[in-house]
C-alpha cells in the first residue's frame, strides 16, 4: 500500500496549488488527475475564454487558444514534478475516509489527510432539445472551428455575458435569453444594467425575464435551432445557428464513492464543509486523519482564485500554521468589453441587511487616462461606513475594472477607510485615480 501525508483528488487550480504549497512545506503529496492538469479554468474555462477576449478575430482566437493552454499546462506539469509530489494519472475513489483506490490500475493509497478538489461542470437545462447537436456548454463552443452567424446564449451570468461580448466582437449576431430581470446577479444592479445597456448599443439583443421552454432543431441537420421561451406571459421564439447553455455549474462528485468516506452531499449536490473546509460529516479511523473539500465542489465560491486560497488555507490547517486569509473578501471579474468587477456586498444587499453605509460614485469620462485611451464608458461605485469610514465594497465597470477592484480589495482586507484610500497617492495619469475622484 502507498502512503502519503496528503492525498489530493483533482489537479485544477485548487488542487495543484495546494500540492505545490504542501510539497514546499515538506509534505509528501499524491495528486490524482485523470484528464488534463490545470482543471476547467486552464483547459476549457477562464484561460481559453480570455484568449478569445484578447484576440482580434475568431480565426486568431482558434489558432492561439491551444498554444496558450499548452504553454500553461506544461508549466503546471513542471510544478507537479517536485520531488515531494507524485502525480497519478488515474481516477480516484474512496475505499474509506483515509484510503483511495486508483482506477483502472487498482492501486491503493492511504493518506493522513485528503483534499477533494474535483471542480465542477456545466449544468444543462432539463428542457426538450437540450441535447441537440447545435447546443452545448462553453466547452463545446470553444471547440467550434467556424464562427456561428447567429449565436443564442441562454443565461446572462458571467459565462454568458463574456461570450456574448466576445462573439459579437467577432461578428456573430448574438441574442441573450435570461430568466432573471437583470444580468450578472452578483453585481450591483446599477452597474449590471449600465453594462447591459452598453452591450445592447453594440448590437447584442437581450430578452430579460424570459424562461426557455424548448429547443427545436431545423428540419435539415446542422442548420440551427429554434429557441422557444416565455416572456411576460407571451411565447417568443428566435433562431440561431448555435445555442450556448450558460445556466450554471454543478459539483463533480460522480464516481468518488463518497459514502465510503461518510460524506453526504448537500441538497444542491455540493460537499458540505465548515469554515476551514473540512467535510462536515467525514469520518476517519486514523489518528489525526482529516478530509477536506475545496473549490467548486464545495459550492462556497465558484472562482479559480477562491479554490487556490482555500487549498493554501487547508494545508496551513494541516500544518498548524495560522493565516489571516479573508474568504469574506472575494473579488470577482467579468471580462466583457468593457470589463466589470466587484468585491463585497452590493448596495441592495447592504440595504437588505440594514447596514448603515454611504455610496460614492465616479465616472471614467472625467478621468484623464480614460480619455487618452478612448475608454470613457465606465463607472465606479464605492460603499463605506458613514463619514468616509471603513470600506465595504466596490463595483466597477470600464477598462481594467478588475485591476481597480483588486486595489480596493487590498484596502478592504486591511480594514481601511475611504478616507485612507483618498489619502493614498495615486500615479497620474492612471485609471485608478477614479477611486479618489468619487463623490
Q: Give the residue numbers marked as catalytic.
A: 428
CA dihedral 179, 156, 412, 24 (to 10 degrees): 120
CA dihedral 436, 333, 344, 380 (to 10 degrees): 30
HEC-encoded secondary structure of the chain: CEEEEEEEECCCHHHHHHHHHHHHCCCCEEEECCCCCCHHHHHHCHHHHHHHHCCCCHHHHHHHHHHHHHHHHHHHHHHCCCCCEEEECCEEEEEECCEEEEECCCCEEEEEEEEECCCEEECCCCCCCCCCCCEECHHHHHCCCCCCCEEEEECCCHHHHHHHHHHHHHCCEEEEECCCCCCCCCCCHHHHHHHHHHHHHCCCEEECCEEEEEEEECCCCCCCEEEEEEECCEEEEEEECEEEECCCEEECCCCCCHHHHCCCCCCCCCCCECCCCEECCCCCCCCCCEEEECHHHHCCCCCHHHHHHHHHHHHHHHHCCCCCCCCCCCCEEECCCCCEEEECCCHHHHHHHCCCCEEEEEEHHHCHHHHHHCCCCCEEEEEECCCCCEEEEEEEECCCHHHHHHHHHHHHHCCCEHHHHHCCCCCCCCHHHHHCCCC
Rounded Cα gap, residues 271 and 277, in angstroms: 10
Rounded Cα gap, residues 171 and 332, in angstroms: 27
Q: Which of 144, 134, 164, 152 is nearest to 53 (CA)?
A: 164
Cell of 206: 437581450
Q: What b/e sequence results for 115-127 when a residue is b if at least 16 CB atoms lie within 10 Å of its CB, and e otherwise?
A: bbbbbbbbbbbeb
Amino acid at each position: 500500500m502507498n502512503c502519503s501525508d496528503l492525498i489530493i483528488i483533482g489537479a485544477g487550480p485548487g488542487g495543484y496549488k495546494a500540492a505545490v504549497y504542501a510539497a514546499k512545506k515538506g509534505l509528501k503529496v499524491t495528486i490524482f488527475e485523470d484528464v488534463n492538469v490545470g482543471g476547467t479554468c486552464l483547459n476549457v474555462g477562464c484561460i481559453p475564454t480570455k484568449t478569445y477576449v484578447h484576440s482580434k478575430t475568431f480565426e486568431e482566437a482558434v489558432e492561439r487558444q491551444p498554444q496558450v493552454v499548452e504553454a500553461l499546462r506544461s508549466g503546471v506539469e513542471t510544478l507537479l514534478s517536485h520531488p515531494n509530489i507524485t502525480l497519478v494519472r488515474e481516477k480516484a475513489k474512496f475505499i474509506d475516509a483515509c484510503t483511495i483506490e486508483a482506477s483502472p490500475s487498482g492501486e491503493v493509497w492511504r493518506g493522513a489527510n485528503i483534499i477533494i478538489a474535483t471542480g465542477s461542470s456545466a449544468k444543462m437545462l432539463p428542457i426538450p432539445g437540450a441535447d441537440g447537436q447545435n447546443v452545448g456548454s462553453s466547452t463545446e463552443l470553444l471547440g467550434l472551428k467556424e464562427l456561428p452567424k447567429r449565436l443564442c446564449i441562454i443565461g446572462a451570468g458571467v459565462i454568458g455575458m463574456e461570450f456574448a461580448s466576445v462573439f459579437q466582437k467577432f461578428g456573430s449576431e448574438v441574442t441573450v435569453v435570461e430568466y432573471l430581470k437583470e444580468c450578472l446577479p452578483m453585481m450591483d444592479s446599477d452597474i449590471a444594467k449600465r453594462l447591459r445597456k452598453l452591450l445592447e448599443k453594440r448590437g447584442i439583443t437581450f430578452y430579460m425575464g424570459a424562461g426557455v421552454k424548448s429547443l427545436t432543431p431545423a428540419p435539415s441537420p446542422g442548420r440551427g435551432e429554434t429557441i422557444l421561451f416565455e416572456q411576460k406571459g407571451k411565447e417568443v421564439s428566435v433562431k440561431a445557428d448555435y445555442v450556448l447553455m450558460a445556466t450554471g455549474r454543478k459539483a463533480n462528485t460522480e464516481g468518488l464513492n463518497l459514502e465510503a468516506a461518510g460524506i453526504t452531499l448537500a441538497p444542491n449536490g455540493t460537499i458540505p464543509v465548515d469554515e476551514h473546509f473540512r467535510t462536515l460529516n467525514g469520518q476517519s479511523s486514523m489518528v489525526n486523519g482529516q478530509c477536506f473539500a475545496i473549490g467548486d465542489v464545495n459550492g462556497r465560491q465558484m472562482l479559480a482564485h477562491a479554490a487556490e486560497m482555500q487549498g493554501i488555507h487547508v494545508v496551513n490547517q494541516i500544518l498548524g500554521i495560522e493565516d489571516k486569509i479573508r474568504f469574506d473578501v472575494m473579488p470577482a471579474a467579468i471580462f466583457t468589453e468593457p470589463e466589470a468587477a466587484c468585491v463585497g456586498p452590493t448596495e441592495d444587499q447592504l440595504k437588505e441587511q440594514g447596514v448603515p453605509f454611504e455610496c460614492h460614485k465616479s465616472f471614467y469620462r472625467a478621468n484623464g487616462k480614460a480619455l487618452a485611451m478612448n475608454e470613457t464608458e465606465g463607472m465606479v461605485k464605492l460603499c463605506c461606513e458613514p463619514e468616509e469610514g471603513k470600506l465595504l465594497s466596490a463595483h466597477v465597470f470600464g477598462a481594467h475594472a478588475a485591476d481597480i477592484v483588486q486595489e480596493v480589495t487590498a484596502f478592504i482586507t486591511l480594514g481601511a477607510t475611504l478616507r485612507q484610500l483618498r489619502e493614498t497617492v495615486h500615479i497620474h495619469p492612471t485609471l485608478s485615480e477614479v477611486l479618489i475622484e468619487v463623490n
